Amino acid sequence: MAEKVVINEVGLRDGLQIQPKLVTTEGKLELCQALIDSGVRSFEATSFVHPKAVPQMADADALFPRLPKTGGVAYSALVLNDKGYERAMAAGVKSVAIALASTETMNQKNIRMSLDQATTTFAGLMTRAKREGIEARAYISTAMACPYEGKVPVKVVMDLADKMVKAGADKLAIADTIGASSPAQCEEVFRAVVKEWGAARIAAHFHDTRAMGLTLAWVALQEGVREFDSSIGGLGGCPFAPGASGNLATEDLVFMLNDSGFDTGVDVAKLRRAVGVAERLTGQRLGGRITAWWLSQERKAAAKAAQAAE
Ligand code: COA
Ligand code: ZN
């Protein structure tokens, strides 16, 4: 039987947070449904952050309770402080994610906390979630490189991850937030975290800034990782991390995994419609690296249909 790989769709959060055109709650629900129709069963749906800092996420409290209740679909939400955690609980969130950046400057820019303050705050949130029966996901963000401080040593990632696990994190997601990792660095980091905590506890999050997204995912896969974040159409980027362009596109990741014999449960052809929905909602041209191939397939099919009609 094919080995399962979890695709955690982050387009609704990481994907949309940087988009200048506000997407309505209805629009987000439509996109979520299109992804569910394609077989996606895991989502990071929103973030409970300050609405002025990230206007696109201002509807988190209204959106979360309205997400489709399809069986087997799991939703998480990002929280970065107690206030966010409490809003998330009021909205019915059962899985919270925190994002601990690996450097002093990145935490300052993102959440106005020092690295020490952020570590203490997020450890507190992980412990609280664990105590309250909520799934606790810890992202170590800018884990390979920080836009302000450069390359991050693997030891820094290990120390921060260790603190999150000791505080109660069920899952550790290692995030190359600005898409700056080389395959060699990716191998070093994932080999180290998998050795320390086991592959079942690890998830990977990549951006495709330098066209390395799929390669990095393949490297992490070879290290045993079986859970990946990705974003429909390659939407994405962090407003506080200059250089963070789109996330690894869900359609590219799913194509690579399905084509290699893994079971993602996602139908890559059906993702085409979800990309269309995301394009309409954001007013942007989107699409991963397989878009050109999709278009050529469609042209062929159209030519065949025209011939048949003659
Ligand atoms: N949701 C809504 N309001 C919040 C909030 C939250 N999660 N956290 C704080 N606030 C409010 C406080 O209630 C306070 O309001 P008041 O002045 O009316 O009393 C005000 O914001 C300031 O609170 P403070 O604790 O000093 O927060 P801050 O201004 O230092 O902001 C963050 C901290 C983390 C909330 C804010 O920087 C933020 O949301 N940043 C977004 C980061 C992000 O999403 N990055 C991308 C993903 S990693
Ligand atoms: Zn990201």
Give the domain ranges of the chain. Answer: 6-309
Q: Ligand 1, residue 57: give the atom nearest the CA.
A: 44
Whether pLDDT at 192 is above 80: yes
CATH of domain 6-309: 3.20.20.70
- Distance CA(10)–CA(57), nearest Å, equals 13
Mutate-to-test residue for ligand 1 from 46, 50, 100, 114, highest number of ligand atoms within 8 A of CB:
50
Pocket of ligand 1 (CB under 6 A): 17, 47-50, 53-54, 80-81, 83-84, 87, 99, 110-112, 238, 240
Q: What is the pLDDT of residues 94-122, one digit of tens each?
A: 999 999 999 999 999 999 999 999 999 99
Q: Tokens in use for 270?
A: 């059906």
Residue 122 confidence (pLDDT): 98
pLDDT of 24 > 90? The answer is: yes
Take atom 4 of ligand 1 and give the residue whose Cα is closest.
50
Ligand 1: which residue has its CA nearest to atom 31? Answer: 111
Tell me the C-alpha to C-alpha distance, in Å, between residue 140 and each of 7, 116, 249, 308.
18, 14, 20, 55
Closest to 187 measured CA to CA, from 212, 207, 216: 216
pLDDT of residue 167: 98
pLDDT at residue 238 in the model = 75
**pLDDT reported for residue 30:** 98
pLDDT at 214 over 90: yes
Please write the tens of the pLDDT for every residue from 163-179: 999 999 999 999 999 99
Coil, helix or strand at residue 8:
strand
Closest ligand (CA of 121): 1
Measured in Å, residue 211 CA sits from the centre of ligand 2 at 15
List the beta strands (DSSP E) in the chain: 6-9, 42-47, 74-78, 95-101, 135-141, 145-146, 150-151, 171-176, 202-206, 227-230
Tell me the percentage of the chain whose pLDDT exceeds 90.
95
Q: State the average pLDDT for the chain.
A: 96
Give the model's pLDDT for residue 1.
87
Return the closest-CA partner of residue 205 out of 3, 10, 2: 10
Ligand 1 center to residue 71 CA distance, Å? Answer: 33
Amino acid at 12: L
The predicted structure's pLDDT at residue 9: 98
Mean pLDDT of 269-292: 95
Arithmetic mean of pLDDT, 151-165: 98
> Is-contact 47 67, C-beta < 8 A?
no
Give 50 Cα–ligand 1 centroid separation in angstroms. 4
**From ligand 2's centre to the CA of 157, what distance in Å?**
16
Q: Count helices and strands (H / E) in the chain.
A: 11, 10
- 90 pLDDT above the threshold of 90: yes
pLDDT in tens, 215-256: 999 999 999 999 999 999 999 977 787 777 799 999 999 999
Condensed to tens digits (0 to 9), the pLDDT of residues 265-280 reads 999 999 999 999 999 9
238 is catalytic: yes
Candidate from 10, 19, 44, 49 with most ligand 1 atoms within 8 A of CB, to mutate: 49
Confidence class of residue 145 from pLDDT cuts 50, 70 and 90? very high
CA-79 nearest atom, ligand 1 = 7
What separation in Å is there between the alpha carbon of 112 and the centre of ligand 1? Answer: 9
pLDDT band, residue 17 (cuts 50/70/90): very high
What pTM does this model have? Answer: 0.96
